[in-house]
Chains A and B, each alone.
Chain A
Amino acid sequence: MTVFVCRDTFEGILCGVYDGWTSGLGHDNVCLEIEDTGNVRMFADYRRVEEEDWKFLRVEEAVIRRAGRKTCGMVYRASLSREEEKADRIYRFLIYALSAGRDAAERLQIPAVNAVFQMNRSVENEANRLIEFLRFRQIAGGALLAVAAPKNDVIALTVPHFVDRMNAENWIICDKNRRKAAVHRSMGSTVTVHIPDGAFWEKLAEPGDQQEFEELWKTFCRSIAIGQRTNPRCQMNHLPLRYRPYMTEFT
């Protein structure tokens, strides 16, 4: 078995697919792994994937041409999954999808398709949840700051939504787990930055400006519930506990 080790990015994984595919070893004798996942196999031959733009573009282009844009989007979202085996699952899926064509992604009865479908789905779900549950607070200078701790790498998927609706605001969305943030400038561009500095992350917990609106929101959430229908279990199912530490109305 030859293991191709790639970086934990969409580009990295697609370059891995390229290397594995063109290695001439045969699909059954290669597998893809994300770097630093810590599974070392005894009798495997490890090779580092050399990342090149042209490799990535070749694979992406092939996916779009042979399996369609929708399928390519699905692979992109699957690449943001927290699953350690995602790289190899994507590889197995593409082996099938590039020969089966545009409907490939709909054959859920095929295990390789189902595996990527599930990852795509849970990434999409989490991104949607974040769009719903993310809370901004106002910090000095009127900018808005939101902090989240998503399981999958989904901040990038929420950015277009907030850019469209809040283009005139300055805002930052922080991913605490990956120490990165999307930063948007009013009427300007949005960039993703890595912030390794621990002090920055400590400071995030400090209270912001205009807290009266946070209090008003809590008042609203309390008043809008119907006492005779109290149903914590239902509330829990729709709004899992793990989101609540970052939500104004639960703090």
Chain B
Amino acid sequence: MWIQENMELNEKLEILADAAKYDVSCTSSGSERRGKPGQLGNAVKAGICHSFSADGRCISLLKILFTNQCVYDCRYCINRRSNDVRRAAFTPEEVCRLTVEFYRRNYIEGLFLSSGVLESPDHTMDLLFQTLWKLRCEYGFNGYIHVKAIPGADPELIRMTGLLADRMSVNLELPTSEGLRMLAPSKSRSRILAPMRQIQRGIAAGKQEIVPRKGFRSFVPAGQSTQMIVGATRDSDFQLLAVAEALYRNYEMKRVFYSAFVRVNDDSLLPALPGGPPLLREHRLYQADWLMRFYGFRADELLTEDRPNFNLFLDPKCDWALRNMNRFPIEVNTADYAELLRVPGIGVRSARRIIAARRGSRLDFPDLKKMGVVLKRAAFFLTCGGRMMYPVRMDADAVAARLVGEEQRRAWDIEHRDAYRQMSMFDDGFLNPAPAPEDAGSVLSGQM
């Protein structure tokens, strides 16, 4: 009997994982929670990756749709109503069993549950709520849960679901209202932003509680995230980045994800993309996103209305440095942390190491290598004890020529799906690979 049942479950899983794969936000970060006696699971702040799929992206959560049936017809989406694809729906029990059994075997950190819109937003949101409730309360699951808020659903349902989840997200998908009107006529900017605002307020209200009420769960403790599709419309990199910056600032997003558009539907309003998904553009956006979140850059320092797209041959940090040669070189032994971070080839970790190490003695170029600095890039922007590594002073063009040679190879690699090699998040080729942060798989950025 179970074989029949299991085959069915297997087929459902095949369909509903496949339908969820274009959502790129598969991180399990942001919550730190100890295990509870008798329950299954905990949560680790940095998140944990458990595997890497054939596309090199990390697998951290059981990422599935509850159902791929949908009443809407968004043009870019494989699950849109007008598509002739196999449809399936889980039951809440099935989702719970899969989550718990996968978790016990250390396959996953938890559940990522999204869904097409079945009947109505309220009905769908209610199904997601029921599933989470069962998983937390009946199955005693204490691991990570990321759930979608369905735009248009009753705010009370969203609130109750958020009390059971670690992270919630609503995807913006397209950066401009025009883009949405054209490709997702049933969605609108305001309909998407409303639940985002609600989640933001819910999180803020939770933080005001001085003493967490015993027995009460906090609302979306790992914060919210969102995703934008790159290259489905004509929007520029600057538009995407400016929107991301606004989302971080005005909606306190934990993460904005970028998803290179994959043309799954033959639709005259969609770009043809003969070269495949715009992976290099996506990569540059992630790099710029890192620069905004960890390196203190603003969107308008990296791009402007007149220069709205990223340089394909240089990463955004090198590009910025070359446009600002007057700020360099800086002295390693005296520069502050913020200044060090702006140097190409110095990352968050190497900047911290430099600050810690120079308390002991003055640093010279060979020492920097031990701190994990990529001298190939950094050498043009630094002095050690007043000396530059290369005795001749080079202008921006000469430095650019040197940097482009190296970067071009990497850029070529990315478009040819062959890259990501020396690109862990904060580190570089010299040190052993850093404990792979879970989003290094999809979200990469070099030691910039």
Which A residues are closer than 8 A to B by beta carbons?
100, 103, 106-110, 114, 118, 121-122, 124-125, 128-129, 131-138, 144, 146, 164-169, 187, 210, 212-217, 219-235, 237-239, 247-249
Contact between A223 and B6, CB atoms less than 8 A apart: no
Contact between A106 and B56, CB atoms less than 8 A apart: no
Give Cα distance in the complex from A133 to B59, angstroms.
11
* Count of interface residues, chain B, beta-carbon cutoff 8 Å: 71
Contact between B421 and A235, CB atoms less than 8 A apart: no
Contact between A216 and B370, CB atoms less than 8 A apart: no
30 chain-A/chain-B pairs, Cβ below 8 angstroms: A100-B360, A106-B353, A107-B360, A109-B357, A121-B432, A129-B436, A134-B106, A135-B106, A165-B142, A166-B35, A166-B41, A168-B40, A216-B6, A216-B9, A216-B10, A216-B13, A219-B17, A220-B13, A220-B102, A223-B15, A224-B53, A225-B57, A226-B57, A228-B262, A228-B276, A229-B55, A229-B56, A229-B279, A231-B55, A233-B421
Q: Which residues of B contact A220 (CB under 8 A)?
A: 13, 17, 62, 102
CB-based closest 5 A-B pairs: A234-B56, A106-B356, A128-B435, A225-B53, A109-B367
Among residues of A, the one whose C-beta sits closest to the C-beta of B437 is A128
Contact between B277 and A228, CB atoms less than 8 A apart: yes
Contact between B105 and A217, CB atoms less than 8 A apart: yes
Among residues of B, the one whose C-beta sits closest to the C-beta of A220 is B17
A230 in complex: contacting residue of B10, B102, B417, B431, CB < 8 Å: B417
Interchain nearest-CB distance for B9 vs A (Å): 7
Interchain nearest-CB distance for B266 vs A (Å): 14
Give Cα distance in the complex from A26 to B87, angstroms.
77
Contact between B421 and A237, CB atoms less than 8 A apart: yes
B197 at the interface (CB under 8 A from A): no
Interface of B is mostly: loop
With A103-B360, A222-B14 given, name 8 new contacts (CB 8 A): A103-B356, A107-B357, A223-B14, A224-B59, A229-B57, A231-B417, A231-B420, A237-B433
Given contact pairs A224-B17, A229-B56, A166 touches B360 in the complex (Cβ within 8 A) = no
Interchain nearest-CB distance for A246 vs B (Å): 11
Counted as pairs of residues, one from A and one from B, with CB atoms less than 8 Å apart, the total is: 197
B371 at the interface (CB under 8 A from A): yes
Among residues of B, the one whose C-beta sits closest to the C-beta of A217 is B107
Interchain nearest-CB distance for A169 vs B (Å): 6
Among residues of A, the one whose C-beta sits closest to the C-beta of B17 is A223
Determine which residue in A122, A131, A132, A249 has the highest number of CB atoms from chain B within 10 A of its CB, and name it: A132
Q: Which residues of A contact B45 (CB under 8 A)?
A: none
Interchain nearest-CB distance for B199 vs A (Å): 26
Among residues of B, the one whose C-beta sits closest to the C-beta of A110 is B360
Which B residues are closer than 8 A to A by beta carbons?
2, 6, 9-10, 13-15, 17-18, 20-22, 34-35, 37-42, 48-59, 62-63, 98, 101-102, 104-107, 142-143, 260, 262, 276-277, 279, 353, 356-357, 359-361, 363, 367, 370-371, 417-421, 431-436, 440-441
Contact between B55 and A109, CB atoms less than 8 A apart: no
Interchain nearest-CB distance for A116 vs B (Å): 13
Given contact pairs A165-B35, A231-B55, A121 touches B357 in the complex (Cβ within 8 A) = no
Among residues of A, the one whose C-beta sits closest to the C-beta of B418 is A233
Interchain nearest-CB distance for A80 vs B (Å): 15
Give Cα distance in the complex from A30 to B22, angstroms.
61
Give Cα distance in the complex from A169 to B38, angstroms.
9
Among residues of A, the one whose C-beta sits closest to the C-beta of B2 is A212
Contact between A226 and B262, CB atoms less than 8 A apart: yes
Contact between A109 and B53, CB atoms less than 8 A apart: no
Contact between A238 and B421, CB atoms less than 8 A apart: no
Contact between B104 and A136, CB atoms less than 8 A apart: yes
Contact between B143 and A165, CB atoms less than 8 A apart: yes
Contact between A109 and B420, CB atoms less than 8 A apart: no
Give Cα distance in the complex from A39 to B66, angstroms.
61
Contact between A132 and B49, CB atoms less than 8 A apart: yes
B40 in complex: contacting residue of A128, A166, A239, CB < 8 Å: A166
Among residues of A, the one whose C-beta sits closest to the C-beta of B35 is A164
Among residues of B, the one whose C-beta sits closest to the C-beta of A144 is B104
Contact between A168 and B39, CB atoms less than 8 A apart: yes
Contact between B13 and A135, CB atoms less than 8 A apart: no
Determine which residue in A124, A221, A226, A233 has the highest number of CB atoms from chain B within 10 A of its CB, and name it: A226
Interchain nearest-CB distance for B316 vs A (Å): 21
Given contact pairs A226-B21, A249-B51, A166 touches B432 in the complex (Cβ within 8 A) = no
